[in-house]
Amino acid sequence: MDHAVIMAGGSGTRFWPKSRARLPKQLLSLVTGQPLLVDTVVRLDGLFARERVRVITNSAYADASRALLDGVPARNVVAEPCGRDTAACIALAATLIDRDDPDAVVCVLPADHVVSPAADFRAAIARAIDVVRTRPDALLTFGVKPTRAATGYGYIERGDTLGSSRGVPFFRVASFREKPDAATAQRFVDSGQFSWNAGVFVFRARTMMHAIERHLPDLAAAVPAIADEWASTGSITQARYAELRKISIDYGVFEKERDVVVMEATFGWDDVGSFAALSRVLPHDSRGNAVVGSATVLDAKDNVVLSEPGHHVALLGVEGLVVVHTDDATLVCRRDDAERVKEIVAQLERGGHRELL
Q: What CA–CA distance (Å, rounded) separates 167 from 184?
A: 31
- Least Å distance, CB 217 to a second copy, is 44
Distance CA 99, CA 118 (A): 30
Quick one: which of 33, 283, 351, 352 contacts a second copy (CB under 8 A)?
Answer: 351
- Binding part of the chain for a second copy, among 103-111, 170-178, 258-266, 339-347 by CB under 8 A, reads 339-347
State how far the Cα of 270 lies from the Cα of 42, in Å rounded to an integer: 17
Stretch that binds a second copy, among 73-81, 107-115, 266-274, 310-318 (CB under 8 A): 310-318
Is 1 a binding residue for a second copy by CB under 8 A? The answer is: no
Taking CB under 8 A as the binding criterion, the range among 132-140, 174-182, 228-236, 311-319 that sits at the site for a second copy is 311-319
Exposure string of 125-161, with b = 16+ CB inside 10 Å and e = fewer, is: bbbbbebbeebeebbbbbbbebeebbeebbbbbbeee
String marking each residue 262-301 x if it binds a second copy according to CB under 8 A: ----------------------------------x-xx--
- In DSSP terms, 157 is beta-bridged to 175, 194
Q: Which amino acid is at 217?
A: P
Q: Are 306 and 325 in contact (CB under 8 A)?
A: yes
For the bound state, the minimum distance from the C-beta of residue 347 to a second copy, rounded and expressed in Å, comes to 5
Q: Which ranges of 244-311 would DSSP assign to H, the alpha helix?
A: 249, 278-281
Q: Which of 8, 30, 7 minimizes the C-alpha distance to 17?
A: 30
Give the interface size with a second copy as a residue count (CB under 8 A): 37
- Minimum CB distance to a second copy smaller for 49 or for 329: 329
Nearer to a second copy, 248 or 307 (CB): 307
Residue with smaller CB distance to a second copy, 63 or 336: 336
Per rule CB under 8 A, is residue 239 in the interface with a second copy?
no
Closer to a second copy by Cβ: residue 31 or 333: 333
The set of residues, in sequence order, having a beta carbon less than 8 Å from that of 274 and lying 6+ positions away, is 14, 15, 338, 339, 341
Output 45 or 336, the one with its CB closest to a second copy: 336
Kindly identify the residues of this chain, within the stretch 11-40, that bind a second copy according to CB under 8 A: 16-17
In the complex with a second copy, the residue whose CB is nearer, 160 or 327, is: 327
Residue 317's CB: how many other CB atoms inside 10 A? 8
Residue 292: strand pairing partners: 306
Q: Give the interface with a second copy as residue ranges (CB under 8 A).
A: 16-17, 296, 298-299, 307, 310-318, 321, 323, 325, 327-334, 336-337, 340-341, 343-344, 347-348, 351, 353, 356
